[in-house]
Structure 1
Amino acid sequence: MKFRQFIAVLLLQLGLFSCTGQQAGVREVSVTALAEQLQKVESMQLVDVRTSQEWAAGGIDGALQIEVTADDFEQKALQLLDKEQPVYLYCRSGGRSMKAAKILASKGFEVYNVAGGYTKWKQKNATHE
C-alpha cells in the first residue's frame, strides 16, 4: 500500500512540475511552432533576452535583443514592445526567457516562451550565424 501511495505522490509531482511553461500566464512554444509562426506572419515581436556577447554570436533572424539581466530590462521592454501583440521570448535554453516572460505577463503582455531556447533552435538548423 505504501508503494502505491509513493507512486501516486511521485506522479502528482511530475505532473505539477511539467506544467512550468504555463505558469503566470506564460505559454510555451516549440521551436518548430515558432518557425511556422515566423513564416505565417509579416512581423512578430520576437525577443532575445540573452547577453550582448551571446547575441553577437548568433540569433534568430528578426529578433530584438533586450537583455533580461540588465537593470533596465522592464523599462526597455515596456518602451519597445506593443501590449496588443504577442511576445515570443528566447534565451540560451529557456530559463532566463521564462524569467522575462513572467515579468512581461505580469504587465499584461501575451507571452510565449520558446522551449529549449536558442540551443534547440540551432539543433533544428533554422538559424543564421
Structure 2
Amino acid sequence: MSIIAEYEKTDMGTIQIAPEVIEVIAGLATIEVDGIAGMSGGLAGGIAELLGKKNVSKGVKVEVGQKEAAVDVSVIIQYGYKIPEVANSVQENIKRSIETMTGLNVVEVNVHVHDVHLKAEEKAESEDQAARVK
C-alpha cells in the first residue's frame, strides 16, 4: 500500500520523506496513547506484538503523496479502556505527530482494533473462574 512520495523542491535541492519514516512516526504516536497494549500485523500480518518490541511500524500502513498522507493502524487495546476513546486518541495523536514532523496533511487515520489484552493476573483469574464454572 506504500507509495513513494514525490520530491519536494527547495532552493537548495529536493526533500523526500520515505513512507517507512511516516510508518515509524505513526507507530510511535500510537504506542504513546494510554490504553494501547500493542500493535497487530492485521489478519494477514500474523502474530501481534505487545509494547516493548523493536518494530514500532508493525501494523502500520501508509499512503504518501507529495502533500498528503493516509494511515491505517492495527492495534491491541488494553482491557478496561473505552475502545472508541482510545481509537480517537490514536487518530488525533497520529495526525498531530505526522503533520508536525513532516508538514504533510493527514487526510485519513483508520484504526483497526484486532484484540483486547488482559494483564497476566487478570488472565489467571479469568481462567480460574472458567475452571470453577465447569
TM over 0.5: no
Structure having the higher helix fraction is 1
Higher alpha-carbon Rg:
2
What TM-score does the superposition give when structure 2 sets the normalisation length?
Answer: 0.29
What TM-score does the superposition give when structure 1 sets the normalisation length?
Answer: 0.30
Structure having the higher strand fraction is 2
